[in-house]
Amino acid sequence: MEIEKASEMGFCFGVRRAIDMVERAAREKGPLQTLGALVHNPQVVDRLATCGVNVVTNLDDIQGHIIAIASHGVGPGIMEQVQGRSLEVIDATCPFVRKAQVAARKMSEAGLWVLVYGDAAHPEVRGVLEHAGENASASLEVPDLDSLPSRLGILCQTTQNPKYFTEFLAGIISQGLSRFSELRICNTICDATSRHQAAALELAGRVDLMFVVGGKDSANTKRLARICTDSGVTTFHIEDATEIEPASLQGHSRIGITAVASTPDEVIDTVVAVLNEHVSRN
């Protein structure tokens, strides 16, 4: 049995930057809190807690005087509330997310309806929509085009798949190009996501079993697992090595491993070690 890791996987620039920022702040200024999980990975959240970085889900629960904004950012309303409470802000919003926020605001200021291809419930998308103001919506399906104004700006949740975004755009253009007097598209998918997905897909084409390692609450991990499954290979989404079922390895000769941007190296390394142990025993 052969085991191979995807050529691009694990912590991205934005996650590494966010973790470095809060760890440095906790070292220099003492305990602090993050508004929501800094990244969607329980091992990272647990490790940060040991450094004095804890999660609050509500501004009213903040104790102390420092709050960190996660890499997926927030809308201007939350930022105003934070500033109104005279809290010191560690803003770890990823620059790629910031780019989407700025694009949404500019499209809205130009009078366009802003349509975000993404999960409306995801914190990043909620923040981007808030930057666009009233005239904005998010969807993973082509919406009812008759309900939209004739000037439309489209952008994308940073971690969506380029192929699915392209299909979404094609759906809008084929169903209703003539309805729009202006159609502006801004590609706000981040480089890290595109590279991770391309590397996962390339590996999935060469193996007969894939493990996608990442938090169970991580939409990005679920999406990466779906991309591998859609390519036709048997795929398991696991959070860590304890979830590997030896029976699931039977009959497979080439195993691929990939992980999303929020999965720490040590979790990936343990998955590889456990699989190697299994290989050496069989």
Active site residues: 124
Site residues (CB under 6 A) for ligand SF4, limited to 223-282: 261
CB of 48 to ligand SF4, least distance (A): 16
Q: Which segment (90-98, 101-109, 178-186, 243-251) binds ligand SF4 by CB under 6 A?
A: 90-98
By CB under 6 A, name the one of 97, 183, 259, 268 that touches ligand SF4.
Answer: 97
Which one, 17 or 151, has the nearer CB to ligand SF4?
Answer: 17
Is residue 190 near ligand SF4 by the rule CB under 6 A?
yes
Classify strands 113-117 and 66-69 as parallel, antiparallel or unpaired. unpaired
CB of 216 to ligand SF4, least distance (A): 18
Which one, 207 or 219, has the nearer CB to ligand SF4?
Answer: 219
CB of 93 to ligand SF4, least distance (A): 9
How far is the first Cα of the chain from the last one, in angstroms, to the nearest whole number? Answer: 9
CB of 198 to ligand SF4, least distance (A): 14
What distances in angstroms separate CA 65 from CA 46, 68, 241, one per listed residue? 21, 10, 37
Is residue 12 near ligand SF4 by the rule CB under 6 A?
yes
What is the rounded radius of gyration, in angstroms, for the C-alpha atoms of the chain?
A: 21
Which one, 257 or 261, has the nearer CB to ligand SF4?
Answer: 261
By CB under 6 A, name the one of 94, 115, 136, 233 that touches ligand SF4.
Answer: 94
By CB under 6 A, name the one of 33, 34, 41, 71 that touches ligand SF4.
Answer: 71
Alpha-carbon distance of 20 to 3, in angstroms, equals 31
By CB under 6 A, name the one of 6, 15, 116, 156 that touches ligand SF4.
Answer: 15
Which one, 100 or 152, has the nearer CB to ligand SF4?
Answer: 100
By CB under 6 A, name the one of 1, 3, 4, 13 that touches ligand SF4.
Answer: 13
By CB under 6 A, name the one of 41, 101, 159, 221 that touches ligand SF4.
Answer: 159
Q: How many residues bind ligand SF4 (CB under 6 A)?
A: 14
The residues, any chain, with a CB within 8 Å of residue 199's CB and separated by 6 or more, are: 6, 7, 8, 9, 258
Alpha-carbon distance of 189 to 210, in angstroms, equals 24
Which one, 37 or 190, has the nearer CB to ligand SF4?
Answer: 190
Q: What is the DSSP string of 165-206?
A: HHHHHHHHHHHHGGG-SEEEE-----HHHHHHHHHHHHHHTT
Taking alpha carbons only, the member of 91, 81, 126, 83 closest to residue 17 is 91
Residues within the interface to ligand SF4 (CB under 6 A): 12-15, 71, 94, 96-97, 158-159, 190, 192-193, 261
